[in-house]
Structure 1
Amino acid sequence: MPADGMVETGIKGVQLFRATQSVPCAPAVYEPCIIAIVSGGKETVLDGERYVYDSSEYLCCPMSMPVEAGTPTTSPDNPLFGVYIALDPRLMSELAFEMDAAGGQLPTAKGSARGIRLAGWDEMFLDSLLRLVRLVENPTDSAVLGDARLRELYYAILKGEAGPFARQAFGPGNAIARSIAHVSSRLDASVNIDDMAAHAGMSRAVFHRKFKAATTMSPIQFVKSMRLNNAAMKIAGGMTVSEAALDVGYISASQFSREFKRMYGQPPRQWGTAQQPAAVR
């Protein structure tokens, strides 16, 4: 890692990252992923709850989530190094099904986790992550063994401390996760809670209760946060305010500006001017 930023490894969905500068938490959208820190620390905020983690725990996010993320403790003397692993919902669902069908004893949930959770590194996770990352040294090894090693890591996640949480999202009864994936893929379209509930096969009341239990947010609050976070990321990346608003489904520019200011404390144009490029989200 000769410079700050994200580096592709040649294995689908696996990236290495480095940061040597402090970056305050800013709007981001986490797609289903695992983030493992090997040096330094990172911070993620979901609906006001703060998750601070380092090489003792990894972050598991099995569903798309609107968050704030940053590296506030990072410096040249305390650099951040880590691995980002996208979670393939199809493969995770296949593994969760196979594990249930095998009938072995699986870990049970300890405490409640909503949206994201931190999980301690165990020997199986460490070994499978190391075996995966070592493939980066040889493009032929990555091409031939990458999918198998990634499957091994997914299995370690499902067997580990985050396993019950991840299996709930990717298992047979994952209606909330399916609903979130559906909404996240069409943020520019009109969405209402009745449509979301129908897609999940639930009544409005049951869907609302289960959605909030899984994400900490009401369905409408979740959609609004996803739209505004996506827009904030686009504005920080150089897109104009009007383009970003249209891109995430806002027809009224004034409504977008009001809701953006309410969430981030500044009008979108002023907020975008104040942003500095961040090495790692």
Structure 2
Amino acid sequence: MQGLEDLRATLCKQIARLGGHSPFYTAIDGMIMLQAKTDRHPTHLLHQPALCIVVQGEKWTAFGERKLTYRAGQAMVVGLEMPGTSQVVEGDDASPYLSLVLTLDQAIMREVCETLPMLPPPPEDNGAFVVDLDAPLLACAARAVSLLDNPDAIPLLYPGIMREVGYWLLTGPHGGALAQRITGTGPQRRMAGAVHALRTQFAEPVRISDLAAIAGLSPSAFHRHFRALTGMTPLTFQKQLRLMEARRLMLTGNISAESAAFAVGYASASQFSREYARLFGAPPRRDIVRLQPPDAGVNLREKG
């Protein structure tokens, strides 16, 4: 596919110019370039609404019990903030995994959606899905990356390119699903509000009845819709957010595992250590030592 080859050449040129290590943050806010070999361990992060284009190689991302696999010529579209687990499964020194991530601006997406006829409702209520890339989307991505050669043009031209991206996504086979997630009104927006409340208040005790009230649903209906949307229960969603934030605090703040546990809402350090090891594959101290550079030093006071 010529469009994919053009995007690969443009991406490789910019990565070589930037130098350093992946991820490559660019002069365009919301544009990230990735280069990697097959991962030994999965990575965990909070996904933002974004178009994640695979230019070379293959990767999977799991949101709870839902696992999405996407390879060169495909992209994962994420419609709302969700914790997820990812792993590169195809990429080596000669042919590394290459990816371009474009954050979806919700204001631009709503603007585009308002100009389109009413989109059909999606067959499934998923917060993320995989699309096959066609020539228009690949051309938009290549032009967006090429703007890095002309920084003065970015403020003027990049929003227009992202409007094109929004148009092709919203008029594609998953347009109805994306519209509900990013530009939805009524029940969809209330459900998104409940997800946002859980996202911003993850360190506090969660009451399903309170979240259900935000969504305008009964607790049982809310639980069912939340799981269909995110691939996990509200409590699992909250637990992953807590553990990811605790990991970030230990990596960047050099605080003990016990302090991190209490900071994110755990009342029991032992429960925190067990659940941390279950998600990340190792107890806190061992995990942080593995993640930090050899010369960084780790000063965590807690064993585990």
When normalised by structure 1's length, the TM-score is 0.84
Q: For residues 79-106 of structure 1, what are the alpha-carbon distances to aligned partners after superposition, in whole Å with 9 as ceiling and x for unaligned?
A: 122211112333323433432xx45xx5
Q: Distance in 1 between matches of 2:96 and 2:189?
A: 37
Distance 1:34 1:230, change over 3 A: farther
Is the contact made by 1:37 and 1:54 (CA closer than 8 Å) also made in structure 2? Answer: yes
Distance 1:211 1:108, change over 3 A: closer
Residue 66 (structure 1) aligns with: 83
Residue 31 (structure 1) aligns with: 48
Residue 247 (structure 2) aligns with: 232
Q: Distance in 2 between matches of 1:266 and 1:238?
A: 19
Residue 52 (structure 1) aligns with: 69
Residue 212 (structure 1) aligns with: 227
| Deviation of 1:65 (Å) | 1.6
Residue 144 (structure 1) aligns with: 156
Residue 162 (structure 1) aligns with: 174
Q: Say which SS state the counterpart of residue 173 (structure 2) adopts.
A: coil
Looking at CA atoms only, which structure, 1 or 2, has the larger radius of gyration?
Answer: 2
Q: Distance in 1 between matches of 2:167 and 2:189?
A: 18
- The structure 2 residue matched to 1:189, chosen from 204, 213, 217, is 204
Residue 40 (structure 1) aligns with: 57
Structure 2: where are the runs of 5+ without partners? Answer: 1-14, 294-304
- Worse-matched range after superposition: 217-226 or 54-63: 217-226
Q: Say which SS state the counterpart of residue 249 (structure 1) adopts.
A: coil
Q: Say which SS state the counterpart of residue 99 (structure 2) adopts.
A: strand
| Deviation of 1:59 (Å) | 0.5
Is the contact made by 2:42 and 2:85 (CA closer than 8 Å) also made in structure 1? Answer: yes
Q: For residues 181-210 of structure 1, what are the alpha-carbon distances to aligned partners after superposition, in whole Å with 9 as ceiling and x for unaligned?
A: 222123223322122112222221221121
How many residues align? The count is: 272
Q: For residues 111-162 of structure 1, what are the alpha-carbon distances to aligned partners after superposition, in whole Å with 9 as ceiling and x for unaligned?
A: 6463321111022212222222221110011122122222221222222233
- Percent identical residues: 29
Q: Distance in 2 between matches of 1:203 and 1:50?
A: 28
Provide the alpha-carbon RMSD of the alignment.
2.5
Structure number with greater CO (CA < 8 Å, separation at least 6) is: 1
Is the contact made by 1:22 and 1:75 (CA closer than 8 Å) also made in structure 2? Answer: no
